[in-house]
Structure 1
Amino acid sequence: MSLVYARLDGVTRQLPLLAVDAPGLYFRAFFGVPEAAARTDAGEPVNAVRGFLDMLAALITRRRPGALICALDYDWRPAWRVELLPTYKAHRLAPDGGEIVPESLSAQIPVLLEVLAALGVPAIGTAGYEADDVLGTIATRQAGPVEVVSGDRDLFQLVDDDHPVRLLYIGRGVAKLDDCDDAAVRARFGVPAAAYADFAALRGDPSDGLPGVPGVGAKTAARLLVRYGDLASLVATLDDPQAGFAAGLRARLTAAHDYLSVAPRVVRVARDVELAAPPVRLPAAPADPQELMKLAARWNLAGSCRRMVDAMARHPEPAAADRDKGVPDDGGSGVEAVEST
């Protein structure tokens, strides 16, 4: 993928690709914006759509990316992960086998996707994988800085200072973004980002149905990984009488051997999924202004759509030096598509 440079504060800088965990954001928007405060004239709730668009506009304004893409869950609970660990997200399983999602949120997701398409913001997923896997693949293949936006702790594993990839970890809305590099991950969890999947497997994560090893909390998990390097090395050492494990800890880890043999594969995001190749340049204007106007009027989204359009129009223009770097000057950000190979 071509890189994008812009003149910011008198310095030519490489602009990042902003890769957004769309389900994470629209769930937060739904629960963060009261339904009563965001409805159509007919009374239909649009709080998730309005909140999502406002958060996205704020992100564009604050982060000034050269490119933007939203990742979707085409499979929120992939069969291959469930086969490895049946408890994976089992607590979020609806009686019909789907995910437990409020009905008023489900009705808004198609509306959001229509608005994003009219704006020209790509939203992609792939069969058999979660949005996390889409983000992992994009972050791995992008030839330049990536900022992943999510409130999902599993995505700390994508942080890579060399690539570079940062996680913009969201709390409530986007009012507070933790801009996390590897040092921030180490400070938060006691392990480098590359060890986060093993850390989560050891400690457990109730939000994903990961039981962890009983009696092994965050501090113990971090201490073990710092000492042994990774979970595979730790497990391989359990039978070594010279390893210095306390008897109780050795017993707990040994009893959890079957779980530990599969849990890291469940937690690790895929980085090689097949993706479509939509344009990911951040457009300076909506792709379909007339359709956007119709959607804004139909769903009472005029204010949020206007904030998105304004944010897109204000994003930095590519620096003149881009033409010398092989970046096309086409009136957009000059970013090409995410390659699928």
Structure 2
Amino acid sequence: MKPLAGKIALVAGATRGAGRGIACMLGEAGATVYCSGRSTRGSLASGSHRPETIDETAEMVDRYGGKGIAVKTDHSVEEEVAALIQRIRKDAGKLDILVNDVWGGDELMTWGKKFWETDLANGFKMLRQAIDTHIITSKYAIPLMLENNSGLILEITDGDGYFYRGQLFYDLVKTSIIRLAFGTAEELDGSGITTVALTPGYLRSEAMLEYKGVTEANWKEGTKADPNFIASETPYFVGRAVAALAADPNVAAKNGRVFSSWDLSDEYGFKDIDGNSPHWGRYVQNTIPKYKYKRCDDQFYSYWRFLSGVKIGETEWS
């Protein structure tokens, strides 16, 4: 069964990590997926040290049962985003699903320092790359979605609570993305388009596997140095969360709110691609001491505690 057969999706930032997993699982559900990003075969994004490309992602979408289309796009450049949407209009005549997952901040992160001790230029660049790009993409994509008065927009973030994420600019990005989903939902009220924010848990991305010195085949070896790695999830888990939301006829009831891959797994009943059911939220609550922040490592992700239970985008902070 292909619940998204005939649906047209754009995953902005599909090169690797959550974006790649989302694109593949939309393909698994039968969608045609435009995979955009800056890294293509023979032309990696400037400043990137990662080998993954959107061409590989599009081919993976095909293998999972969908149709993948790679389109090189710098989502910080309005003209390139406009051209991407015009291509989708010409090819398909519609856009059903937009996933804003542009990030590009790994090379700019500085853990363990206060913001006044860091290079502010890197912080401001992170804001431009990870927030402005989402707004630009939605600006050009939404008019196409409005033509059918329907669709789903997903803003991919990190964390579903009102808590500090360990680094000022990173925190600004990830909380702003959640607020962006809420604000976009308000502006699209009555349009038939639903907007939600979505977070994965402890993501077992390509970069994280490499950092831990393991592969997906032997990823549990990584728990020797980091016991919390046992609660990690593949990028396909959040991908299945996106596919489940896109296939839900009642998804409008979630408009303007923020959700997690693990909670949606409980609701919709999907599993990770390896058959596991990781639940980062429950693991954090049961394992990490209350109100105590612990950094996972010096480069990639942070552990968190839901300090107050407040969900951004709901009445407590709206």
TM-score tier (shorter): under 0.3
Q: Give the alignment's TM-score, normalised by structure 1.
A: 0.24
Larger RCO: 1 or 2 (CA < 8 Å, sep 6+)? 1
Computing the radius of gyration over CA atoms, which structure comes out larger, 1 or 2? 1
TM-score normalised by L of structure 2: 0.26
